[in-house]
Structure 1
């Protein structure tokens, strides 16, 4: 995807999205971390192993790919703000053939991820959903680490960079194999780990890497970014709600606002109330939603609504004041905690059904029946 040039255009604006991942501007809340890491006086003492951890949607992968380009850039000592974009190393990155970069799993390399994302538009939603967070494609196995160790020790000239995405999904054997490399750093080798679930990362791994300060995002910077992405016509209340629903992750908030299911939250509530009142059958509701959203999208929508229903039943405030869920649910109409737990189990089963190629209509019908009984 490219754009036409203008007189004052950013030269990176002409790069495809997969290449832009290496040369994109810093996100507003990452400026301080970048400056501390790349300041000229700190370049000689860069940690050999870094961890970018935090929930999905805070921009840690954008930071890491930008750091990869800068570490490999031939002109980095004179370009502390980012890779130059024109040296031989930067050209290799743009072509996806850099000899001094290894990424595990390969699926995470921006070039590969971009190609697969394009291909997935031609797939069914079922096939696309199978490439989610639990996909075996993201598992890092011991053989992967063994092959990478030979790359680390090959003694080639110049900086070498290894990226471990979804590091929490390393097998025990893979993690143990990586430990020795972390404990015995090689000259000019940088190991960069990424995880959405730092609690699942082995303590022995975490103790041997330096964590980047990317998780704390000032509210003002987060809301300003969301407004800039969605347009100034979005109200402060809408932005605050999106950020709350996304657990404070600005990129996730923007993605949520753009998701096809987000605008259908009030419709979900209306249909659910009609189901509970016996004014609509579960099969009719299922047929309706199958025309509106894929099962994966409807599952995301239902999960979000379930969070608020649980909060209201527990006497907490709704996270979605624009839906007025509490007003639509008088005390005598509230579902039980047991019913909500049962629905959560069916949602989990729906996710498994998507991954196991179960016929989508059957899974949709079963989920709708459970919603009607909640």
Structure 2
């Protein structure tokens, strides 16, 4: 299998990999902060980029990396660079000598992505940063995503953070900051990307991606305004899937078995490959929303904790279903059971 054919752990569905994405919508403030840090000459050695799924964290990280590696600015759009810049072309090919990407690797022997970032991957960072940059710029390492570090790999990466490399920048892309070691979080400059409004993302989908108004509104609403997530959902039957999920969960802790059977049957049919990951994403978001709502209620700490635990378990299940090729029906039944168990604590 060629490099271009291998699955990439940090790529969303059929969308282009973030290293090949040059547009970034709705993150002007974050881009201004990063540009100001570059202009100051006092760049922090480690950045933690967090925010909801599909908000543009990886696209932001690569935009920052291009400029740090010497790509020429293009126009006045924050940190923008031209795709035909030699730095950008080498970054796209993952052949730039001053750039390192750490992510869940693909195993040629098993034909699967690993479920976590192993310690061997994390140990590449100290060796990488021990060398001088090939030019006058920086050496840049992106970890996507740092949530997927296991205990050993997280500790290996911590050693790099404890001994900041000269003219070296570590960029951690994080979906759930609470899963990182506190000692890692404390050594990073945190930049939180917020999703634009649903209305703004709807207009962006219409104007930039020629989407019709109804489809744009549905996709933006389902993604809670996250542009990349909206694009990914627009290519699927996400609205009907979401409606069926809502029906299945409407009377928690009692589940609508008919609605669940409808989802699982569709996921098991030819052409239904996207139903499982979409359903798991919606369930994770639902559990997280319930955790936040419970945390705001007086005496709701225990229930909030149960929903946080459910979201974590669902996230692990989603990753295992991808890396171990678990049966779609059984995976989704297990996912709905996790939601039911959490609801029984209320």
Report the TM-score range of the alignment, normalised by the length of the smaller protein: 0.5 to 0.7
Distance 1:358 1:40 in 2: 44
Q: Indicate the residue corresponding to 1:207 in structure 2.
A: 186
- Within the alignment, does 1:59 sit opposite 2:36 as a pair? no
Partner of residue 81 from structure 2, selected from 83, 87, 92 = 83
8 Å CA contact retained: 1:261, 1:293? no
Question: What is the rounded CA distance, in whole Å, between the counterparts of 1:168 and 1:62 in structure 2?
Answer: 17
Which residue in 1 is equivalent to 2:32? 35
SS of 2:141's equivalent in the other structure is strand
CA contact under 8 A between 1:261 and 1:298: conserved in structure 2?
A: no
Give the distance between the partners of 2:248 and 2:196, measured in 1 at CA: 37
Pick the structure with more helix per residue: 1
Alpha-carbon distance, 1:91 to partner: 4.0
Question: Which residue does 2:93 correspond to in 1?
Answer: 95
Correspondence for 2:117: 139
* 1:287-322 deviations in Å (ceiling 9; x for gaps): 6774465366157448859999xx9xxxxxxxxxxx
| Distance in 2 of aligned mates of 1:177 and 1:364 | 32
The 1-side partners of 2:247 and 2:197 are apart by: 36
TM-score, length-scaled by structure 1: 0.59
Question: How far apart in 2 are the matches of 1:68 and 1:188?
Answer: 13
Which residue of structure 1 aligns with residue 292 of structure 2?
none
Whether 2:236 is the aligned partner of 1:259: answer: yes
Q: 1:156 to 1:235 in 2, by over 3 A?
A: closer
Q: Would you say 1:246 and 2:238 are equivalent positions? A: no
Distance in 1 between residues matched to 2:247 and 2:101, nearest whole Å: 46
Picking from 87, 102, 105, the partner of 2:103 is 105
Match of 2:176 among 166, 172, 197: 197
CA–CA separation in structure 2 for the residues paired with 1:81 and 1:266: 39
Q: What's 2:42 paired with?
A: 45
Deviation of the 1:54 alpha carbon = 1.6
Task: Tell me, yes or no, if structure 1 residue 161 matches structure 2 residue 159.
Answer: no
Closer, same or farther: CA 197–75 of 1 in aligned 2, 3 Å: same
Give TM-score, length-normalised by structure 2. 0.63
2:200 matches 1:221: yes
Where does structure 1 lack aligned partners over 5 or more consecutive residues?
1-15, 117-126, 312-340
CA separation of 1:269 and 1:201: change in aligned 2, threshold 3 A: closer
Paired positions, count? 299
Aligned-partner Cα distance in 2 for 1:17–1:353 = 22
Secondary structure of 2:29's aligned partner: helix
- CA drift of 1:285 comes to 9.4
Shift of 1:226: 3.6
Q: State how far apart, in whole Å, the 1-side matches of 2:211 and 2:64 are.
A: 31
1:297 counterpart (243, 266, 275): 275
Note the residue ranges of structure 2 that are not aligned, 5 or more in a row.
Answer: 1-14, 250-254, 290-306, 338-346
Residue 148 of structure 1 deviates from its aligned partner by: 1.8
Q: Matched residues in 1 for 2:280 and 2:219: separation?
A: 16
Check the 8 A contact 1:168/1:202 in 2, yes or no: no
Larger radius of gyration: 1
Q: Does 1:152 align with 2:129?
A: yes
Which of 136, 155, 162 is the aligned partner of 1:183?
Answer: 162
Asked whether the 8 Å contact 1:54–1:198 carries over to 2, the reply is no
Instruction: Give the 3 Å change call, closer, same or farther, for CA 196–91 of structure 1 in structure 2.
Output: same
**Matched residues in 2 for 1:277 and 1:152: separation?**
53
In the alignment, the residues of structure 1 paired with residue 36 and residue 67 of structure 2 have an alpha-carbon distance, to the nearest angstrom, of 12
